Amino acid sequence: MERARRGEVTSAMERVAARENRDPEFVREAVAEGRAVIPNNHAHDALDPMVIGRAFATKVNANIGNSETTSGREEELEKLHAAVHYGADTVMDLSTGDELDATREANVAHSPVPVGTVPIYEAVKRAESAEAITRELLLDVIEKQARQGVDYMTVHAGILMEHLPLTDGRKTGIVSRGGSILAQWMEENGSQNPLYANFEAICEIFAEHDVTVSLGDGLRPGCVADASDEAQFAELDTLGDLTRTAWDHGVQVMVEGPGHVPMDDIAENVERQQAVCDGAPFYVLGPLVTDVAPGYDHITSAIGATEAARAGAAMLCYVTPKEHLGLPEPEDVRDGLAAYRIAAHAADVANDLPGARDWDDALSEARYEFDWRRQFDLALDPERARSYHDQTLPGDNYKEARFCSMCGAEFCSMRIDQDARDADGEMASIAGSEGTDLDASPAASVNLPPVGAHDTSRVPERIEVEGVTFTPETTDDD
Ligand code: SF4
């Protein structure tokens, strides 16, 4: 941020500009003014820099991480691999189980996308209880994670003692893990949130390592009944003040948002954050627009995420089908990411980002031309599209067919329409016209297939962490 303010276009800004199809000066200006962030710790060697900001394509974060009951180091790398493969723009390692350092170091070493963490989780493990966390321990954890190469950290510095009574009438109280830990600390110790009290010292660490701060929403609503209440907005006002404090230290800032919000409240929530936090990128979890569908919350939340991104949210934190029920497996990561890539892309099309619709147009043309192979190649998840088609029409000859098993040959409406247009001589001009040329599209790379097109050339083939060697599985299109 300091270099952007001095008018310098860094190599990370150049790379981001190329990926977004924007002028490097456009990127520099957005970073200098705090409207965009490039999370890029100096120590994260494998990173392919990316940008988060409302003027750019909407980004998607995938949460990974172990818990006390499930998942080991190898499984975590598998989840990282799945997240990057299915198009995550960033990942958050939310581990709270064993081997926290080794898991984090392996993730950073192997990740071409920015890695985020929530350092209060490690602090509470090391202190063995929330109330025993000290200032020294907090700063020690944050500094160590910064040295390990973490690109952005969530700090719940905006939840204050005076906010806690405001949650008394809530249906589901405080549902953020970080928020509940800090509320317990404040109640037991009778003093102000230590992340708030030591925020300037934390900013100095972040500035030194170029860690982006993600201001956590510890009082986010945990159900639609609690949305947009006094507690949530009191914390948001504090996040606005903290945004300006971090900027004073040259630290890049994004602000986290809810949670569970009914559809008709979402745009107002986004506009309020943008006004209170002077345009700092908004990073929203979902939001879920209804509470009635455990097992399908990747859908309830992707609906809200689309609306949030349409209204100006810059990054969407994915929710998997396991939300509220259990720790996600790699297949849940895939389903959650598909839902969120759709939300992000749908919002970019609606917001008329340069070239955003070209992907849709290219796929629609392939569909109408019965070019099944091209349709699969252009699909958000080509493997799934191909396998669903193969389930009923597996033969190679069906990849030339002018129908699929949905309506069958006789009732295929597109075939009937083509035949009618053929009779009128219209098809010849359609066949002769030029289709959408994705190579010439002005779209950002995240708005073009394949999803997850990161430069992985700096990701090492083998990683050694604490004497254990990993050779993560990769494929050419990772
Ligand atoms: S059969 Fe129906 S679903 Fe299949 S290609 Fe034709 S119109 Fe589309």
Is 128 exposed, middle or buried, given 0-12, 13-18 or 19+ CB atoms closer than 10 A? Answer: exposed
The answer to whether 121 is annotated as binding is yes
State the residue for tokens 């494929």: 475
- Quickly count helices (H) and strands (E) in the chain: 20, 12
Ligand 1 and 406: CB distance under 6 A: yes
* Annotated binding residue 178: yes
Q: Between these two residues, 478 and 177, which has the higher pLDDT value?
A: 177
403 ligand 1 Cβ < 6 A = yes
Instruction: Note the pLDDT tens digit of each residue in 210-254.
Output: 999 999 999 999 999 999 999 999 999 999 999 999 999 999 999
Our answer on whether the CB atom of 416 is closer than 6 Å to any ligand 1 atom is no
d(CA 321, CA 336): 7
Ligand 1 near 409 CB (within 6 A): no
CB 38 within 8 A of CB 31: yes
Average pLDDT over residues 130-149: 97
**How far does CA 22 lie from the centroid of its chain?**
21
Strands (E), 311-449: 315-317
Could you tell me which of 33, 60, 54 has the C-alpha nearest to residue 353? Answer: 54
**pLDDT exceeds cutoff 90 at 133:** yes
Element (H, E) at 470: strand 468-470
Q: Does any ligand 1 atom lie closer than 6 A to the CB of residue 86? A: no
List of domains in the chain: 40-354 (3.20.20.540), 356-440 (no CATH)
Tell me if 92 is assigned to a ligand binding site: yes
Q: What letter represents residue 14's amino acid? A: E
Distance between CA atoms of residues 166 and 173, nearest Å = 10
Residue with CA nearest ligand 1 atom 4 = 404
What pLDDT digit, counting tens, does each position of 416-431 carry? 999 999 888 777 666 6
Other Cβ atoms within 10 Å of 464 Cβ, number:
12
d(CA 171, CA 293): 18
This prediction has a pTM of 0.94
pLDDT digits (tens, 9 = 90+) for 84-131: 999 999 999 998 888 889 889 999 999 999 999 999 999 999 999 999
